[in-house]
Structure 1
Amino acid sequence: MSDLHTTSSGESHGSVSSYIIGFVLAVILTVLAFAVVATHSLSPSGTVLAISALALVQVLVHLHYFLHMGGGSEQRWNNICFVFTVGFVAIFIIGTLFIMNNTALHMMSR
């Protein structure tokens, strides 16, 4: 049985087992993040680092298993659009923080 199903328009969708694997991985990563916080087993900076790492892995799991983004040539446009969107959001957030900080500095000087 193939891991991907292809529709008549050429779009690929994951199989049920692929979705189950993604769901189980997402649940495990979420439980691990809650466990790190609930047990207080790490220092505050270690907790932030561990949660950040778990969040990054969680994003990668969602991209692969639910959004079907991979390294194949058929995914090129999806990947380009995703990179463009991430870049745009990063510029938007960094620009907003810069403008708000600059505004706050100028308001304090008066």
Structure 2
Amino acid sequence: MGQPTHGHGGHDAGHEGGHGSLKSYVIGFILSIVLTIIPLVVVMNDMMGKTGTIVLILIMAVLQFAVQLWFFMHLKEGENAKWNISALLFAILILFLVVVGSIWIMNYNMVAH
């Protein structure tokens, strides 16, 4: 009878272990904002050429993806952290191979014709 029966009762004590801390969320949020503002400022002020802008946007997108996984999706935490990271790296490798292979095939077909 002494323990609360509502859903949030016993979660405060283990908050650090299972989920990110407030500090972790704030750092992730600030990094997300910065990684969004940088390409926005570059595009709005026409600070780079077309190729440079595209490369910058792609780099910021990859970094944003990493920040989201690290700070908000808790990829590094839990009992299966090594397997989660390994599976993610494998998926990124497959994605990279599909994209690069597709570009290579399209480029080959454009040059051949």
TM-score above 0.5, yes or no = yes
Stretch of structure 1 that moved more, 20-29 or 57-66: 20-29
TM-score, normalisation: structure 1: 0.65
Correspondence for 2:4? none
* Structure 1: runs of 5+ lacking an equivalent: 7-12
Would you say the 8 A contact 2:32–2:64 is kept in 1?
A: yes
Name the structure, 1 or 2, with higher relative contact order (CA <8 Å, separation 6+): 2
TM-score, normalisation: structure 2: 0.63
RMSD: 3.1
Correspondence for 2:20? 14
| Moved >6 Å (runs of 4+) | none
Correspondence for 2:40? 34
Correspondence for 2:48? 43
For the pair shown, which has the larger CA radius of gyration, 1 or 2? 2
Q: Number of residue pairs matched?
A: 100
* Structure 2: runs of 5+ lacking an equivalent: 1-12
Q: Identity of counterpart residues, as a percentage?
A: 30
